[in-house]
Amino acid sequence: MANISLHKPVPASDVSAWDLDTDIVIIGFGAAGACAAIEAAEAGSKVALFERNSGSGGASGLSGGEIYIGGNGGTEVQRDAGFEDRTEDFAAYLKMAGGPCVDEAKCDLYAEKSLDHFAWLKAQGVPYRGNYLAGKHIEPTDDSTLIWSGSEAAAPFCDQAKPAPRGHVIQHMGWGGGRPLVDILEAKVRQLGVDVHVDARALGLVQDGEHIVGAVFKIDGKETFVRASKGVILATGGFVMNEEMRRKYCPETFKINDPIGDQDDGTGINLGVGAGGDAIHMDQFFTTCPWTIPEPQASGVFVNVQGQRFINEDCYHGRVSRTMVDQSGGKVYLLLDVAHFSEPAEFARMTIAGTGETWAEVEAELDMTQGTLAATMHFYNKHAKEGRDPLFDKRQPVLTPLDQGPFVALELNFQTSYFSFFTLGGLKTSINGEVLDRTGAPISGLFAAGRCTSGLPAWGHGYSSGMSLADCTFFGRQAGRMAAG
Amino acid sequence: MANISLHKPVPASDVSAWDLDTDIVIIGFGAAGACAAIEAAEAGSKVALFERNSGSGGASGLSGGEIYIGGNGGTEVQRDAGFEDRTEDFAAYLKMAGGPCVDEAKCDLYAEKSLDHFAWLKAQGVPYRGNYLAGKHIEPTDDSTLIWSGSEAAAPFCDQAKPAPRGHVIQHMGWGGGRPLVDILEAKVRQLGVDVHVDARALGLVQDGEHIVGAVFKIDGKETFVRASKGVILATGGFVMNEEMRRKYCPETFKINDPIGDQDDGTGINLGVGAGGDAIHMDQFFTTCPWTIPEPQASGVFVNVQGQRFINEDCYHGRVSRTMVDQSGGKVYLLLDVAHFSEPAEFARMTIAGTGETWAEVEAELDMTQGTLAATMHFYNKHAKEGRDPLFDKRQPVLTPLDQGPFVALELNFQTSYFSFFTLGGLKTSINGEVLDRTGAPISGLFAAGRCTSGLPAWGHGYSSGMSLADCTFFGRQAGRMAAG
């Protein structure tokens, strides 16, 4: 009997009989797996797709269905709204967003091919209303298409890449567009005759010499050996649901408490590393707290427990949130005046920690030393009235004085407020989705896409909404085509 | 011919002939390798030690020869100086120093056994003068023994673990005690008849089934196969000298420019991971800038480019430096008054960026907005006169007003000032030095110690001087004994 493990491929010689035979095995039926399956099947390969749950979705199905798209002058939606989006600006933004973890080749390729990818998504049947929704939104609450979904218009990004909104959201009323997005992709997958197996959990890969030639699944309680003559594509998501992996590779996430994911337990990363793959930037994670809801709160100012500001609050809510979690003291405060305050979103679990007719009163109510928060706000307001933020370069129109009381300080507590998060580190892959070994060489027959890889959204401080789905769908397609050969 | 790689063990069946035969192979002749060799040889094993350079040393040989020791009431040096050091306090400090990356079992074991370890070091011939040197020192400039070498007396550490100085420095005039420390250990290694090979570069491990049974070296231009019936101990150091690995696993280090190490190119980590080992906390690094030289500068105040303080400057210089590198803007300023300023150490490459009769003048000379740096110093001085630091809880005696001009701001620029650094991430090992696979099970015949592992100094923000050598020497011994069986 073969000794089956996530951490080491089974030698093909140990496989007594194959239960299924196909060209390409895909593990995981989120957006990455679906897109890989579509491309591989359209290229003429026989494809079998295995999903641990009883249906498609994965973390993609829990998302907003927003995809980060631009370049080449802009999509028709961008152009209709008056935004030209040059490829150079798009690539420059993607690279800044990747920070120290950037994969420049992936950024360049995606910036160049993103418009084609948008056309492809529409050709699969993904609907877009085609309009632009101005303002600061996490997701549209209606069925609008184009939103500002990152830090494009904020410093330092706007100084190095001409800003444009790039979040393209599937036509869908309200949040949760990820589910219909995956449904559309699934319909295409099934229409193409992909052999879909649900309730099928991956147990291991099978290797013949240096080549990955199949995988083993638990289906109906039985170990099922599947031969894949052209290889295996891993599309299983990140490891946010695996506490042991988080402890070893991404322990900062224990500061916060709301992992978002599906069965994202690192299965694909473990399979890939076990086959000789390289897991990189494993410490990186996205986090956000929905502090920009209701929208006027986006004009608020954040201070840490020292009463200091720490970022230009007009950048992406996730970049602000990730920087919050860097602050010492376990919490930060969102400061608002009466004009910008209304009841915060209940699920945010932000609490009113202090109020006052003056900022000095708020400071006192928070038990902060005299001359901290109040001095910060005095300085902020003085310059905001002049239209500038000399400390962090926050820009108008989000930059606005908060000087007409009463005032409020909302507490965002890392342990008790809602800080959703998911992991960004994963397998190192080529631009074609090949899993690379630690020397940088492709592992024969092994491919990966989505959050089991380190891709476009490589750096927690640079994430923008739509980047992960862009990465999943585009590089899922790349992997599917490459595997089909 | 065997296909030899750092990244995958050679199957024993591919080895046509063994060139050498021993019980235990040790790779790397720094402190970890030397201590492993001594214990293994004393336990009766035949030991062969291989070093890539022409002599012993490694990064240990470049160090100060300081070892972090305490607990069980304190060493005689601590006790003579009036410091009781309970095991609970020592363990608590080690755990805080490990932060989110802590290995609690290693902390507990070392806290309990540290005094025995000190006795063992002395028994090997390591000399200690036995005196206590008060004050803030990176290393003694004379041959003193005991110094404060961490953040023990600073918040928040001092509130959770009773402070004691724990840095025990070999008797040696001036800096550089690591070299004589390794010399003493080497003498013992040779006296025990360990078979030492220098100019011997590790190329790969050899595996028989699930067991590591040897290693391959390049010696005199030839591949040399060495059988190790009891296993192989990796003691090759971190990966600070490997830019490609830093890019993949620890890219924040590219903010700074002064790697310290010897041949620390990740060889042991690659060998271990290739054999199924688990590399953890690979993003962690130590860094320091010698800003506390001359000593009065230790009373300075740091601000970032926003003019904000960011830490209690009385904690360990490396913790302060690591936090500096977290600040945006690429530089920070060390603020001093005339009473505490004298020419900084030349090798620190700190420059005078601004001076003035008042802090407002300094602020203006740095082109900072009015009411930033000067307001920070006004607030700081006001409370320092009252003996407190409400923002960061810096304590007396380091806490002192800086209100008698003239004043100076020294620039510490991440790219041009001296920020030495080395990596802290590495193989996950048991308290006995066994290399663990990704399920947490020991890999038969494979052991590791020192900076190719993640050990006591696991977290860059919590490092204290002497922790890495404590880890290398103590867990090197553990690995040597365990391998000897």
Residues A230, A269 within the same domain: yes
Q: Are residues A210 and A335 in the same domain?
A: no
Instruction: Write out the two tokens for B39.
Output: 């214990």
- B156 lies in some domain: no
Regions in chain A scoring below 70 on pLDDT:
1-2
Identify the closest residue of chain B to A270 by CA–CA distance.
B438
> Which chain A residue has its CA at the smallest distance from B389's CA?
A369
Closest Cα of chain A to B188: distance in Å? 36
Q: pTM of the full predicted structure?
A: 0.97
State the Cα–Cα distance between residues A56 and A34, nearest whole angstrom.
9
Comparing alpha-carbon positions, the chain A residue that sits nearest to B454 is A248
Q: Which residues of chain B fall below pLDDT 70?
A: 1-2
Residues B409 and B297 in one domain: yes
Indicate whether B199 belongs to any domain. Answer: yes
Q: Any CB–CB contact under 8 A between B380 and chain A?
A: no
Q: Which residue of A has its CA nearest to B373?
A: A391
A249, A251, A391 member nearest B306 (Cβ): A391
Instruction: Check which CATH number belongs to the domain holding B183 and give it.
Output: 3.50.50.60
B13-28 confidence digits (pLDDT tens) = 999 999 999 999 999 9
> Minimal Cα distance from B326: which residue of A?
A326
Where does a domain end: A395, A413, A431?
A413
How far is it, in rounded angstroms, from Cα B381 to Cα B201? 56
Q: How far away is chain A from the Cα of B328, in angstroms, using its nearest Cα?
A: 9
Taking the Cβ of residue A215 and every Cβ of chain B, the question of whether any pair is shorter than 8 Å is answered with no
Cis status of the peptide bond prior to A127, with omega within 30 of 0: no
Residues A139 and A54 in one domain: yes
Residue B343 confidence (pLDDT)? 87
Q: Do residue A153 and residue A235 come from a single domain?
A: yes
| A413, A438, A466 - which closes a domain | A413
Cα B458 to its chain centre, rounded Å, is 9
Inter-chain residue contact B379 with A371, CB threshold 8 Å: yes
For residues A170 and A304, membership in a common domain is answered with no
Best of A391, A414, A461 to substitute, by most chain B Cβ atoms within 10 angstroms, is A391
Domain range for B36 is 10-62+178-286+420-484
Are A399 and A457 part of one and the same domain?
Answer: no
User: Which chain A residues contact residue B251 at CB under 8 A?
Assistant: 99-101, 281
Please indicate, yes or no, whether residues A278 and A300 belong to a single structural domain of this protein: no
From the candidates B271, B284, B303, B438, which should be mutated to test the interface with A, based on the most A CB atoms within 10 A?
A: B438
* The predicted structure's pLDDT at residue B253: 98
Domain holding B400: CATH number? 3.90.700.10
CB proximity B270 to A under 8 Å: yes
Q: Identify the domain boundary among A413, A442, A472.
A: A413
Instruction: Indicate if A375 and A485 belong to the same structural domain.
Output: no
pLDDT attached to residue B342: 87
- Does B251 map to a domain? yes
Question: Considering its fold, how many domains does chain B have in total?
Answer: 2
Q: Do B379 and A375 touch (CB under 8 A)?
A: yes
